[in-house]
Structure 1
Amino acid sequence: MKIVLAPDSYKGSMSALEVCAVIGRALRAELEDADIEALPMADGGEGTVEAIVAGASGRIVELTAAGWSGEPIAARIGHIETEDGPCAVMEAAGLFGLPMVKPSERNPLLATTRGLGDAMRQVLDRGYRRMVIGLGGSATNDGGMGMLSALGAKFWGRDGEELAGFGRDLAELARVDLSGLDKRLAECAITIASDVANPLLGEQGATRVYGPQKGADAAMVELLEQAMCRYADQVEDAAGKRLRDFPGAGAAGGLGFALLLLGGKIVPGAEVLERIVGLRARIARSDWIITGEGRSDGQTLFGKLPLHVGKLAQSAGKPALLISGSLGTGWERLQPYFVSCFSTVTSPVSLEECLRHAEKNLEAAARNAAQLIKYCSRRQ
């Protein structure tokens, strides 16, 4: 019996790689003849680099780049080989991710995407011309100004001083010059892995939808929205093209907008991972598929990784199981895609307790899932 494990990370508790290890251990304890293939997955957010490197037999490359506050941090990117040559894999979550900022310090005015530009410049220096960039989970709302600055664009404030590219700089912007952007970017194929389709501006835009979770109060949201609008006007004028309404332009606080400016192509993160690791073919060769995430609910239907895996399994005529940290409002709408949906939490407990016992709870749920697989196999 062949079982493919293709979960996302359980954010805040376990990486996708760790989830695979726990589920695999539980299955082996119940199903002695199981051939288990672990494929840690991601949808563009936290764990994207790790998942792609593991699935494509790549390697991790270390470098130094600006973190969310602009201070240098040790960063990790991925190197994989593709049919079209070497490819660098980066993620916003690993450079300026929200979990990297203490809740009391979250403030999009003080955060920057400059670190991604630093990483891209170093990748170019090393000869890469193919990049995959995951956008989920950022702490930023600078419209990608920081990244563009690190790549050679110039932004000046009303007082004539050059701006570094923080969220606060959007309101100061008076002039834009994109002529200094690294010329090597024109030679690049940039895949933007994102699981959101928000435009840059408006009620469904970057600031109004995601600003509050990054530390913006109501007044800051209004300030950033107005400033982002002026920023978009000036950047689009300088580039000679309109990108603000493109689905995904609002990803990572407008970083999607800036990457589109560089010629990037937005692809749902789950699809990017699927293609790179060959998930469709692996599912076709399997008997069962298991996926999961930290919390599954109605939002999972909007392009989240488990739904994508469930649909692939369904199209291949293979049974799939969902094992998630919890099942929230609307989870029942996922039932058409799975034989069964499991929650690792079985009684009312605090979030802190859930995180503390995440591994033990996941192993118990996986053993329950193994019992279901065993029963179904006997019935065949």
Structure 2
Amino acid sequence: MNLLIASDSYKGSVSAYDAGEAIKKGILQVIPDADVTNVPMADGGEGTIDAILANRDARIHEVNVHDPLMNKISVTYAGITHQGKDTAIIECARSTGLPLIPEEQRNPMLLNSHGLGEQILDAVKQGYQHLIITLGGSATNDGGVGMLQALGWTFYNNKDEELPTQGNQVANVYRMSDDHRLPALDSCQVTIASDVTNPFHGTNGATYVFGPQKGATPAHLETLDQSLERLASLLSKHYGENIQTKPGSGAAGGLGGALYIGLQGTFEAGIDVVMDLTKLEDHMKHADLVLTGEGSLDQQSVMGKVPHGVAKLAQKYKKPIIGLAGRHDLELEQLNRFLDVVMSIQTEARPIEQAIQPDVTRKQLTVTSEQLMRLYRLGSAHSDD
């Protein structure tokens, strides 16, 4: 029997790989001779590189960059060979991620994306001409100004004074120049991996939708959104394309739009990128049963998250698929459109702080998957009769 585990991480608890290993343990307790393949998944947020590298070789590059508060930190990105090309995989969350900022310092008016630009700069200097940049989990809402500054763009205020790289300068941008942008960018192919389709600004844009979770107050939201609107106008005029009309431009506080229009990037769904890089389709073809999961299976799960992407692939090959989650919506109609079975792993009522403890999550994944396999084996025995 061939089983495929393609799980996301359980946010704040266990990685995608660890979740898969816990599920695998439960399966093997019931069917010891099962052929179980654990292929960790991600959708472009924190942990994407780890998920990709769990099943393939890579070159790891370490580089010193600035975090969103402009403190020096050391981060890594990965180099792989993909479709015959040397490809750098750069995770936005490693240099601009929300977990880098203490909760009491989360104020997007003070944070910038300079570090992501430094990661890109290093990769280009290393000779990479194909860049996959995963967006998700960012702390910033600067429209990509900090990133572009690190790559050679210059921005000016309303007095025509050059803006510094400290802080979030988007509210001060009135003019820009790309005369000194890194020339090697012209030879680069940039893939923007994201599960977000929000526009650059407006009520459904980067600021109003994602700003509050980054610490933005109502006053911040208005200022930032107006600033992104002005920046969008500036970029659109300079490059001859309306950035606001491009779905996904609002990803990661506007980094999606800056990568798209400044680096001529191409958007791809994060889960599709990860499935491609991990060769999930090849594994899917040989599976008798598929298990996927994430911390919360809810309405957002059908908007390009890992379980939805894995389930669509399972449906393509007519494979039964089970979804496991720390919690799921009571209204399961939408979830059951793409997952044959949806199960919560909770075995008793626990406070959330206890439920998300890694040891607890791993144990509950193992117990739940073991019981599922007992049920699956029982059903298979009756079908044989």
TM-score normalised according to structure 1 size: 0.96
Identical columns (%): 37
Question: 1:58 maps to which residue?
Answer: 58
CA deviations 1:295-353 (Å, max 9, x no partner) are: 11011111111011111111201111111111135444111322311112244432211
Question: 1:361 maps to which residue?
Answer: 364
Shift of 1:164: 3.9
User: How does 1:133-172 map onto structure 2 within 5 Å?
Assistant: 133-165=133-165, 168-172=168-172
> Does the CA-based 8 Å contact 1:300-1:307 persist in structure 2?
yes
Aligned pair in 2 of structure 1 residues 45, 334: CA closer, same or farther (>3 Å)?
A: same
Residue identity in the other structure for 1:22: A
> Does the CA-based 8 Å contact 1:53-1:59 persist in structure 2?
no
Distance in 2, Cα, partners of 1:194 & 1:292: 19
Distance in 1, Cα, partners of 2:53 & 2:31: 28
> Does the CA-based 8 Å contact 1:199-1:245 persist in structure 2?
yes
Question: 2:20 maps to which residue?
Answer: 20
Question: 2:242 maps to which residue?
Answer: 242
Kindly indicate whether residue 374 of structure 2 is the aligned counterpart of residue 371 of structure 1: yes
Question: 1:297 maps to which residue?
Answer: 298
> Does the CA-based 8 Å contact 1:10-1:16 persist in structure 2?
yes
Question: 2:190 maps to which residue?
Answer: 190
> Does the CA-based 8 Å contact 1:326-1:344 persist in structure 2?
yes
User: How does 1:247-326 map onto structure 2 within 5 Å?
Assistant: 247-261=247-261, 262-326=263-327
Greater CA drift, 13-22 or 328-337: 328-337
> Does the CA-based 8 Å contact 2:301-2:308 persist in structure 1?
yes
> Does the CA-based 8 Å contact 1:55-1:276 persist in structure 2?
no
Question: 1:340 maps to which residue?
Answer: 341
Secondary structure (helix, strand or coil) at the match of 1:294 reads strand
Runs of 4 or more above 6 Å deviation:
none
Gaps (5+ residues) in structure 1? Answer: none
Distance in 2, Cα, partners of 1:364 & 1:45: 28
Kindly indicate whether residue 77 of structure 2 is the aligned counterpart of residue 77 of structure 1: yes
Distance in 2, Cα, partners of 1:329 & 1:206: 29
Shift of 1:160: 4.4
Gaps (5+ residues) in structure 2? Answer: none
Distance in 2, Cα, partners of 1:377 & 1:302: 33
Secondary structure (helix, strand or coil) at the match of 1:3 reads strand
Aligned pair in 2 of structure 1 residues 340, 189: CA closer, same or farther (>3 Å)?
A: same
Greater CA drift, 158-167 or 224-233: 158-167
Distance in 2, Cα, partners of 1:342 & 1:162: 55
Distance in 2, Cα, partners of 1:11 & 1:302: 17
Distance in 1, Cα, partners of 2:38 & 2:45: 19
Question: 2:181 maps to which residue?
Answer: 181
Question: 2:93 maps to which residue?
Answer: 93
Shift of 1:63: 1.7
Distance in 1, Cα, partners of 2:168 & 2:63: 27
Aligned pair in 2 of structure 1 residues 99, 208: CA closer, same or farther (>3 Å)?
A: same
> Does the CA-based 8 Å contact 2:235-2:243 persist in structure 1?
no
Aligned pair in 2 of structure 1 residues 186, 330: CA closer, same or farther (>3 Å)?
A: farther
Question: 1:3 maps to which residue?
Answer: 3
Shift of 1:68: 1.8
RMSD, matched Cα = 1.6
Secondary structure (helix, strand or coil) at the match of 1:341 reads strand
Distance in 1, Cα, partners of 2:330 & 2:175: 46
Secondary structure (helix, strand or coil) at the match of 1:109 reads coil
Shift of 1:167: 6.3
Shift of 1:83: 1.9
Greater CA drift, 322-331 or 254-263: 322-331
Secondary structure (helix, strand or coil) at the match of 1:110 reads coil
Residue identity in the other structure for 1:91: E
Residue identity in the other structure for 1:317: K
Shift of 1:42: 0.5
Greater CA drift, 2-11 or 162-171: 162-171
